[in-house]
Amino acid sequence: MTVKEETRKLTSRQREGRAINAVAELLRRKLSVPNIYLEPSTSLITADVLAVDRGGAGDLHAVEIKLESGLNPIEGRQGNSSSPKDLNEIHATWYQKYCAKLQDIHRQVMSMPAHYRYLAIPIESFDLAIGELTHFGLFPEDGIGRLGVITIRDKGEESPAAEIAVAPERFRVDPTKLKNIETRLLAKNRPDIEVRI
């Protein structure tokens, strides 16, 4: 079996795992001496990657990765019928589900108690998603902060690449939630990736 064949047979969980590593590497390069937690198992924050800048004493960067096929715009163009009317109906149905799913994801990401919040999506989904995300609002009601968007580019046999497509801005975080994360997660768990000084 060649590596190319193995890459094609990856499960959605394996693809997400590779994307988690790509995002962690992006944050490792971007931040100053970050402590990075991969899928922190806690009810305090639902993030696939949580990075704490400045050796664990700085801002929290939380990333939610969404690669599921329901967010792929190519799916909305597929169908078994050759009739343009049927294809339009298939696409319209897919698009309604897409918008509802993206709105739920947006709500989840915007509620994460982190100074910087990101949504990571496949690069193929970016153009369609950014229009909808802008409609839902990249900025919170109080205007402090902006949701960042990271694109994931599948490179086949090579590791996927993660790039910041929309730069985040610092959000305000509830001090009680922040203290809970600091005392119940960060103080008790060793990061999966840390820079030793």
pLDDT exceeds cutoff 70 at 1: no
Comparing 197 with 59, which gets the higher pLDDT? 59
User: What is the residue type of 83?
Assistant: S
Over residues 116-120, the mean pLDDT reads 97
Asked if 172 contacts 48 with a C-beta cutoff of 8 angstroms, the reply is no
Residue-by-residue DSSP string for 13-72: HHHHHHHHHHHHHHHHHHSSS-EEEES---SS---SEEEETGGGTS-EEEEEE---GGG-
Comparing 3 with 13, which gets the higher pLDDT? 13
Give domain limits for the chain.
3-194
Phi, psi of 67, rounded to the nearest 5 degrees: -115, 0
pLDDT exceeds cutoff 80 at 75: no
pLDDT exceeds cutoff 50 at 172: yes
pLDDT exceeds cutoff 90 at 3: no
Per-residue confidence (pLDDT) for residue 40, from 0 to 100: 93
Per-residue confidence (pLDDT) for residue 156, from 0 to 100: 85
Nearest residue to 45 (alpha-carbon basis) of 139, 110, 121, 106: 110
pLDDT exceeds cutoff 60 at 13: yes
Per-residue confidence (pLDDT) for residue 131, from 0 to 100: 87
C-alpha 114/C-alpha 21 separation (Å) is: 20
End-to-end CA distance of the chain: 41
Over residues 62-75, the mean pLDDT reads 79
Over residues 9-17, the mean pLDDT reads 88
